[in-house]
Structure formats: structure tokens, C-alpha cells
Amino acid sequence: MGLLTGKKAIVFGVANEKSIAWAIAEALKKEGAVLALTYANETVAKRVIPFAESIGAELVLPCDVRSDEDIRSVFAEVRTAWGGLDILIHSIAFANREELKGSFLNTTREGFVLAMDISAYSLIALMKEAAPLMAGRGGSVVTMSYYGGQKVFPNYNVMGVAKAALEASVRYLAEAVGPNGIRVNAISAGPLKTLAAAGVGGFNQIAGHVEKKAPLRRNTNQEEVAGAALYLCSSLASGVTGEIHFVDCGYNIIGV
């Protein structure tokens, strides 16, 4: 028996084999969860559908998180197929590449709104539809943050502001759905080479700095983040909600 045997889980944010969302999906499946994966568009679908087939995902659904109609459709499918939901993984973030280099003063109104919508508000939008399916089941929601939401990192710019909003949303959502037995937490992972990270100017320099300064003298990896997500999704973390859990080899504790 796995930690999540029979639990129903939906994962948002798989883009390729290096995605944190993909590592989490694999970890949940290994511990017995029944999976649903989503994809944002047809280009991503070409990668996600084979991944879903490889781990026996029961549902593979299109969802542009900017569309309330898409979100409603996804959870209607989940309700029809499963009747309820136990786990929601939110691993979605986006900002225009030109907003992720140079001065934060170069942030445009349109770029700010886009980053906030996809990277922060989407969690709230998903929770509106997921909460009724998770009520009374001891459900768990896990989203992905980064230390750039609390401290300034070069070129992270508008994404740092979006992550700050995401982390605040975790706390407010935890209180909002807590009476229904639903837990909401975030993982703040160290710098990982993912598709999203590739858009951040100077990413390799940031990763190199963290590797030198973190107490463990290395960067974390996708499997370690997935292990933390597994814990937060399981009954082992039944008393944990509203938390920002760091998986960054200890970098966040360092001052100088």
C-alpha cells in the first residue's frame, strides 16, 4: 500500500520531462494516486499526452488557466469521472521574457497583469472549482513558489511580485478552505533548470551562486521537490497548512 493509494490527483503545469510538475506526477503515481494531467495548448499536448500515457493517467484534459470556462470544464470532467478530488498540484507560472531581464522599472502594465493572472490568480481560480470536490476528503493543494517572492533576485522582476502574491494567496486560501478539511501549502524550490527558468536572465549565475552559498553546497533537484510535495499531499502532513516549505538546500537561511 502506498501513501496515496486510491487518492485522486490532478496536476497542472507539466511541460516536459524536466518540469517540477512531471516529477511530482511520477512521485504521486508511485505512491498509488490516480492521476489527471492538463495541458495549456496543442503544442504542449504533444509532449504531455505521451507522458500521461506512460504513467497511466486516467484523464488528460486541456486547460488554459486564463479561461474560467476551461477551468469549469476540467473540474466537470473530474466530477463525472471520479466524483471527487483529493490532491491538486499547481505548478504554473509565466511572464513575458522581456520582463525577466534588466530593471524592474521596465515592467509594463500588460506584462504585470499577465504574470499575475497566470502565476498567482490561477491558483484561486482553480480552487474555486476544486474546493467543492475536495470538501470533507482531507484534500491537499500544493503550489510552487520561489525565494524571489520574498527577496530580490536579479532579473526575476515581475515574477518575484507574482510569487509574493501567490504566497499570500496560499495563506488566505488555507484559511478559506480549512473548515472543509482542505490544506493549502507552497513549496519554495531552489533554482532548477526547467523551461520556465530558461526565460530568466542570468539564471545560470543565480544557480551557481546558490550552489556555492547553500549549506549543502549544491542545488536541489526535481526529485527532492517531488518528495516534499508527496509529504504535503499525504496524511503525514495532515496538520500542515498555509506554509511555504523551502526545498533549496538551505539557501534561504543564509544572510551573508
The one catalytic residue among 121, 147, 156, 231 = 156
What's the CA gap between 114 and 66, in Å, rounded? 9
The one catalytic residue among 146, 147, 231, 251 = 146
What's the CA gap between 14 and 22, in Å, rounded? 5
Is 121 part of the annotated catalytic residue set? no
**DSSP bridge pairs for 59:** 36
Strand positions, DSSP E, 165-256: 183-189, 244-247
What's the CA gap between 234 and 10, in Å, rounded? 14
Residue 79's identity, in one-letter code, is R
Check: CB of residue 121 under 8 Å from CB of residue 164: no
Is 146 part of the annotated catalytic residue set? yes
Short-list 207, 198, 220, 230, CA closest to 11? 230
> What is the Rg, in whole angstroms, of the alpha carbon atoms belonging to the chain?
17
What's the CA gap between 221 and 249, in Å, rounded? 10
Instruction: Indicate the burial class of 110 (C-beta count within 10 angstroms; 0-12, 13-18, 19 or more).
Output: exposed
What amino acid positions are annotated as catalytic residues? Answer: 146, 156
